[in-house]
Structure 1
């Protein structure tokens, strides 16, 4: 009888362990799988759809909401010494994704404009109901409408303006429809625009199209080692669905790459005329513009510094400059993958945070999965199964890594202890 009880207890322990739980039923590392020495916890269990965020000294956190939550498009959190955050207020009646802090100002974007708020010495917003609108009139379609933002060290702000279509077809996402000649939407979308941070109500005419040929950028950050902009692009969809004569379902699931680019002024990443094939390591002509899955596009487009598998949706990019994590992570890039929806009939991919080692401002090794298990599923066949989907990344003053989830609004904090 005693042996049966021991066996039963062991079986129970194995069951809880398989779920990432300890014997008291409490989640270990908030259900995440992490490298040795790292731990994770949730500082906020649920809220609205949290997108990008900033974490400031004194436990103050500003979170951009995809849509206003309880009337506020920016949520204010206060993290206590025990590592739990409480909602301390909010402001802004607009949804969106972008949020950034630099030189005493908080910058935030709607899907059509960018605002800034003056901060006091405690990093509190002085006039939450009276923001300065510094950019207005940005193109917004029914897809890829979010405006991610980042600042450089010379008082410039960079704004992603995503393509309002999948691949600039005459009839969007319709089988066999060809591309619009010249793709005129690139005049106002499908790229990164540069504006000044201190001028009011700038429009396209006051900005500069800094880079083009980028279908949709959600993750972007400024690399301080080489003083350069880096972005992660969402690649185009539905190669097999739209052009089944040229692509198999397997190719549809894997292509094209989700690319990490180092961006200089005037760069062209090829969209919609070409896409990057990470398997062949070359640009291919898009089928909407004369491609057949075999025709190369040549070497006129910007080469990615990393080409990830297709359709994983890189929504967050952060260069780690803290000292809490081991030396290998210093100045490297974390990328939050929101997860795919269009790899059927294969299982979906992504739903994790990866790490890319960097040295002297360039990748120095292969990327690796850093934090996995956000989805809560062994296999995800449809995004609706995912309990959480990573979106935004931020570094805390102590070097901890914060990750948002825009399914339930959970916010994770990842730490390292020797």
Structure 2
């Protein structure tokens, strides 16, 4: 008699798990785009929907396989700096909670923890099997006491696959002048600010209460990095630097307003331990395609900088403020996007009298872990119109990027807190 019941029991078990799996797949199907693609302009075959509005400056973002969205806010809202949202079957999301009594930019999901940064430190929260934060009121402090000034204060972060945490520490200066942004003010010899800022610091991801003493300066000569990501294809850190300002206003005898608007390039760097990208002693001239000595340190806009400084992996127009970097590893988008990089350009403020630029997400093709070919605009019209972009009156400014479990692309807005989701309609 026992053998008679084995087959029915097995069949019932198989049906149960098949239906359960189907339910999970159905729960996370790709949603339909909004009728107007949430106001965005996208390549053919792509669509977009507005997932939610959080009503505050949304910075970096992570999305779990269960459809939970964690958004880091630049400034606290109702005394909380991390917003939690939950998606429904239509791809829209509702705010379900908030926690963290600090503003900031960085947020990252890795190995059962949610990491988040203030402007002076990094914290982490234990997650359960559903990727929900277990104890939101009592985070562990991973790093504390990081330098913060009145500019470039954000602490973006990323983790590698070997238990290391990488944190940007932007320098509170434009070009390390004796009088910051002053007229013909020379650079401070050796730029002592680099001892504690202007680079990427490496810490242990699982050690508590670290400070500069426990960390290592992984790379230096980086004025400010907001967008960064770990390239899984070649196991390497990539970062987007915000280039320097004020070439004309500080050095009018050398640079006219147009040159100041178009220099220097915003640069993508592939970093290894010990690299020096050269700030403040040089900048990269994307027009000449050369590393040029900074005027604060004796440059004349033609004198080339030392070969010891790192060459960029790719360059982009000046002052567009790259705030998000994401290597795409999903399967939803066409194959050409696989392992390439999406970059969110927040938009310029200092190209006048030339039109302001940016306010879009671009795609940078990669082959074998290296940039290959020209970058292209992927998602545009965050500003609302070309006129609003040119006048620096953008309705929205893209900032953070994340990849959904289905391979869709999420983009945050650092003006009104809109969250966008870009999907591809496979045909």
- Asked if residue 214 in structure 1 is aligned to residue 222 in structure 2, the reply is yes
Alignment map for 1:324-403 (pairs within 5 Å): 324-379=332-387, 380-383=389-392, 385-403=393-411
Q: Distance in 1 between matches of 2:323 and 2:35?
A: 26
Query: Take 1:397 and 1:49, find their aligned partners in 2: how far apart are those partners?
Result: 24
Q: What are the Cα deviations for residues 35-56 of structure 1, in whole angstroms up to 9, with x where unaligned?
A: 0000001011341100000000
Q: What is the CA–CA distance in structure 1 between the aligned matches of 2:312 and 2:126, rounded to whole Å? A: 36
SS in 2 for 1:298: coil
User: Is it true that 1:261 corresponds to 2:249 in the alignment?
Assistant: no
The count of aligned residue pairs is 392
Whole-angstrom CA distance in 2 between matches of 1:381 and 1:349: 6
Alignment partners' CA distance in 2, 1:205 and 1:272: 24
- Report the Cα offset of residue 27 of structure 1: 5.6
TM-score calculated relative to the size of structure 1: 0.93
TM-superposed CA distance for 1:248, in Å, is 1.1
Equivalent residues in 2 for 1:178-327, closer than 5 Å: 178-327=186-335
1:130-185 alpha-carbon deviations (Å, 9 max, x no partner): 10001000000000000000000000000000010000000111111111110000
In structure 2, how many angstroms separate the alpha carbons of the residues matched to 1:46 and 1:203? Answer: 33
Matched, 1:92 2:82: no
Is this contact kept in 2: 1:344–1:381, CA < 8 A? no
Deviates more, 1:36-45 or 1:294-303: 294-303
Are the aligned partners of 1:389 and 1:407 in contact in 2 as well (CA < 8 Å)?
yes
Could you tell me how far apart the structure 2 residues matched to 1:377 and 1:166 are?
30
How many Å apart are 1:363 and its aligned residue?
1.0
1:120 and 2:154 are equivalent in the alignment: no
1:58 partner SS: coil
Task: State the alpha-carbon separation in 1 of the partners of residues 299 and 311 from structure 2.
Answer: 19
Q: Secondary structure at the match of 2:66?
A: helix
Q: Tell me the CA shift for residue 330 of structure 1.
A: 0.2
Report if aligned partners of 1:139, 1:189 keep a CA contact under 8 Å in 2: yes
Residue 129 of structure 2: SS of its match in structure 1? coil
Alignment of 1:11-22 (within 5 A): none
Stretches of structure 1 lacking an aligned partner (at least 5 in a row): 1-25
The offset of 1:378, in angstroms, is 1.5
1:140 maps to: 148
1:80 has 2:80 as partner: no
Q: Quick check: 220-229 or 69-78, which moved more?
A: 69-78
Q: Distance in 2 between matches of 1:305 and 1:27?
A: 38
Deviation at 1:395, TM superposition (A): 0.2
Note the residue ranges of structure 2 that are not aligned, 5 or more in a row: 1-33
RMSD of Structure 2 on Structure 1 (CA) = 0.9
Which residue is equivalent to 1:155?
A: 163
Match of 1:35 in 2: 43
Shift of 1:295: 1.2
From 42, 46, 52, the equivalent of 1:44 is 52
Give the Cα separation in 2 of the matches to 1:382 and 1:114.
36
Task: Name the CA distance, whole Å, in 2 between partners of 1:382 and 1:222.
Answer: 34
